[in-house]
Amino acid sequence: MNSVLESIKNRRSIRKYLPDQIKDEELAVILEAAQYAPSARNDQPWYFTVIQDRVLIEYMNKEAKRSMKESGEEWLFNIGNSERYHVFHHAPTVIVVSGEIGATEPMVDCSAATQNILLAAESLGIGSCWIGLARFFFTDKNFGEKYVAIPERVEELGIPFGYQPFFAITLGYKDQDVRAPPRKQNLINYIK
């Protein structure tokens, strides 16, 4: 089977990592793959913040969970209140993906870049997980479609003015083996 198709089929969300940091060379390859994602009008509106400081990752976890507990949503409250749950799954590397606010389709473009990161990591034998709940580190109580990041949090991570953090990706060497569940059937309609 083609190696790209193999990576697509084998990639799963990993939520248990070994403590070892990934190699700088591997990270560079992964980030380069992200920058080759398609984007509307070739805006390339992404910005990547790589965090490998464990103290900062723990702080982000704590603040995201605090924010979840204040969301008013029971399921988020339960996650935020769980002692066992870690937003970033104790991964040694976290990448925050931000998009340029004025771009044509920044969230779509950043999603494409995120998928490239996930697939590139898999091709190198590195585990990954797309973390939507990272958004709660950047918010207080404004969680809906009108989500706007708290400027101080954006500045704290050195994200340039005019960029909105959308989500994060965890990266690390896998400490679990996850198999793909069966795929749903009858979801394709051919018109010839």
Of how many residues is the chain composed? 192
- Per-residue pLDDT tens for 87-142? 999 999 999 999 999 999 999 999 999 999 999 999 999 999 999 999 999 986 55
Q: Report pLDDT for 139.
A: 84
Helix then strand then coil, in percent of the chain rounded to 5, is 40, 20, 45
Q: Report pLDDT for 145.
A: 55
- Residue 183 CA, chain-centre distance (Å), reads 23
Quickly count: other Cβ atoms within 10 Å of residue 119's Cβ. Answer: 18
Band of the pLDDT at 149, cuts 50, 70, 90?
A: confident
Q: Report pLDDT for 146.
A: 64
Instruction: Reply yes or no on domain 3-173 having CATH 2.50.20.10.
Output: no
Collapsing DSSP to helix, strand or coil, 127 comes out as: strand
Band of the pLDDT at 151, cuts 50, 70, 90?
A: confident
Band of the pLDDT at 1, cuts 50, 70, 90?
A: confident
Strand order in the sheet with 126-131: 46-51, 93-100, 163-173, 126-131
